[in-house]
Amino acid sequence: MRFGSLKTELIYDTIKDEMAALNGGSLECALFPKSLALIEREYPQLSREQAISLVELVSNALSEKQKEKISLVATVPPAFSLKTKRIQNVVEDLIKNAKKSILLTGYSVSEFVSEMIDTLVEKSQKGVLIKIFFNDIKSQVSIEKILRYRSKFLQVYNYTNKEDKMAALHAKILMVDDADVLISSANLSYHGMAGNIEIGTQVCSEKIVKQINELFKQLLFSKVFTAVNE
């Protein structure tokens, strides 16, 4: 990171190094002696309180930045050796480990993910709030169990666009516990999970989670999606 000043660059790097030494511990300024000493030496006009405020500002910004993690995920033929996670494994792990909530969109769903569907139903019966958004629900032939067990904890929504028959819910999103998001090109099908070449990202970001929640609230409010009634 470049600030255009060797002083500020050195202060930033020193705070960053002391944060790394804390290894996730408290961000109390008493634990940043080198940073405080450096600021007071380079900027003697600042009071002790102002120096502490500066350390707090930079360390908190760094802490928020470190909370955001983005990694590449992919679907490729089994013979390929990947350093990235496979989309199928990420989907299964996210759903399996969900404790509070799941938001899922499905453009195309097949029998290939029947075990995943079983897990979704079981999670809802244990109090995990699940919201599933389907594209043209009448065309989905593998979601009978989801429809049969829908409840206040398993909410199902349908996308239809009467004005444009070619329009579709094409987004593939899986968001778990308002913390972990998978955004990819992969459908919930054999080819999406195992056969095709698919690429996506797994994101841990409060900012992205907030934006996704707000987007779907607006879509529901605008009646782009309609709830499938009991």
Residues in Cβ contact with 229 at an 8 Å cutoff, skipping those fewer than 6 apart:
none
Active site residue 177: yes
In single-letter form, the type of residue at position 91 comes to V
- Asked if 72 and 103 touch (Cβ cutoff 8 Å), the reply is no
Catalytic one among 67, 99, 145, 170? 170
DSSP element (H, E) containing 131: strand 129-135
Catalytic one among 85, 93, 136, 177? 177
Q: Which residue has the tokens 């405020």?
A: 53
Active site residue 170: yes
In single-letter form, the type of residue at position 228 comes to V
| Helix intervals (H) in the chain | 6-22, 33-42, 48-67, 87-97, 114-125, 144-148, 190, 206-221
CA dist 65 and 80 (Å) reads 33
In single-letter form, the type of residue at position 13 comes to D
What are φ and ψ of residue 149, in 5° steps?
-105, 10
CA dist 66 and 213 (Å) reads 22
- How many Cβ atoms sit within 10 Å of the Cβ of residue 21? 11
Active site residue 191: no
Q: Which residues are catalytic?
A: 170, 172, 177
